[in-house]
Amino acid sequence: MNLPPATAAPVTTEARLAYVLRHFWLAYQPAPPVRIGYAADRPQVEVLEGAVDFFSGHEPYPAAPNFRAWQEQQVPFFFDAHPERPLLELLPGRAVVSADVVSAAFYLLSGWQEYFCAERDQHGRFPYAASVQQRYGFVALPVVNYYFDVLRRAVEHVSGQALQPRRWAADAPFATFVTHDIDNLYSAWKEPAKAALKRGNLLGFGRHLWQHLAQPDAWDNLEQVQQNVAAYGASSTFFFIPNYGRSTEHGPYNADYRLHKLIPRVQTLAAKSEIGLHGSIGSARTPQQLGAEAEAIGEALTDKGQRLGLRFHYLQWEPRVTPEHLTGLGALYDSTLGFAEHFGFRHSYCLPFRLFDFKHGQAFDFLEIPLNLMDATLHHPRYLRLAPAEIMPAIQPMLQEIERFGGVFTLLWHNENFDPANSANGPREFHRIMEYLRGRGTAFLTGRAICAAVQE
Ligand SMILES: [Zn+2]
278 belongs to a structural domain: yes
Percent pLDDT > 70 in the chain is: 100
Q: Are residues 297 and 428 in the same domain?
A: yes
- What separation in Å is there between the alpha carbon of 375 and the centre of ligand 1? 12
Q: Are residues 130 and 177 in the same domain?
A: no
Provide the pLDDT for residue 381. 80
- What separation in Å is there between the alpha carbon of 312 and the centre of ligand 1? 7
Q: Are residues 106 and 179 in the same domain?
A: no
Give the confidence band of 66 by pLDDT, cuts at 50, 70, 90.
Answer: very high
Provide the pLDDT for residue 391. 95
- State whether the Cα torsion 262-267-273-279 is positive or negative: positive
pLDDT at 1 over 80: no
- What separation in Å is there between the alpha carbon of 373 and the centre of ligand 1? 14
Provide the pLDDT for residue 394. 96
- What separation in Å is there between the alpha carbon of 6 and the centre of ligand 1? 27
- What separation in Å is there between the alpha carbon of 125 and the centre of ligand 1? 14
Beta pairing partners, 23: none
Q: What is the Rg, in whole angstroms, of the alpha carbon atoms belonging to the chain?
A: 23
Q: How many CA atoms lie within 13 A of 45 on its CB side?
A: 25
Q: Are residues 125 and 254 in the same domain?
A: no
How many other C-beta atoms lie within 10 A of the C-beta of residue 434?
Answer: 21
pLDDT (tens digit, 9 = 90+) per residue, 263-311? 999 999 999 999 999 999 999 999 999 999 999 999 988 877 789 999 9
Provide the pLDDT for residue 207. 82
- What separation in Å is there between the alpha carbon of 49 and the centre of ligand 1? 42
347 belongs to a structural domain: yes
- What separation in Å is there between the alpha carbon of 311 and the centre of ligand 1? 8
How many other C-beta atoms lie within 10 A of the C-beta of residue 301?
Answer: 15
CA-to-CA separations, 430 to 12, 160, 228, 369, 434, in angstroms, rounded: 45, 44, 10, 20, 6
pLDDT (tens digit, 9 = 90+) per residue, 208-228? 778 777 788 888 999 999 999
- What separation in Å is there between the alpha carbon of 419 and the centre of ligand 1? 17
Q: Are residues 158 and 229 in the same domain?
A: no
pLDDT at 205 over 90: no
57 belongs to a structural domain: yes
Distance of CA 242 to the CA centre of its chain: 22
Q: Are residues 141 and 177 in the same domain?
A: no
Integer Cα distance of 361 and 299 in angstroms: 35
Provide the pLDDT for residue 215. 80
Provide the pLDDT for residue 295. 94
**Is 0.85 topped by the overall pTM?**
yes
- What separation in Å is there between the alpha carbon of 186 and the centre of ligand 1? 14
- What separation in Å is there between the alpha carbon of 239 and the centre of ligand 1? 8
Integer Cα distance of 456 and 454 in angstroms: 6
**Cis previous bond, 76, omega within 30:** no
Structurally, the chain folds into a number of domains equal to: 2
Range of the domain at 52: 13-165
pLDDT at 262 over 80: yes
Distance of CA 128 to the CA centre of its chain: 14
Give the confidence band of 456 by pLDDT, cuts at 50, 70, 90.
Answer: low
CA-to-CA separations, 398 to 138, 232, 290, 395, in angstroms, rounded: 11, 21, 33, 5
CATH number at residue 432: 3.20.20.370
190 belongs to a structural domain: no
- What separation in Å is there between the alpha carbon of 183 and the centre of ligand 1? 5
- What separation in Å is there between the alpha carbon of 305 and the centre of ligand 1? 24
- State whether the Cα torsion 7-104-47-150 is positive or negative: positive
DSSP-assigned letters across all residues of 251-319: SPB-BSS-GGGGHHHHHHHHTTSEEEEEEPTTTTT-HHHHHHHHHHHHHH-SSTTPPPEEEEGGG---T
3-state secondary structure of 233: coil
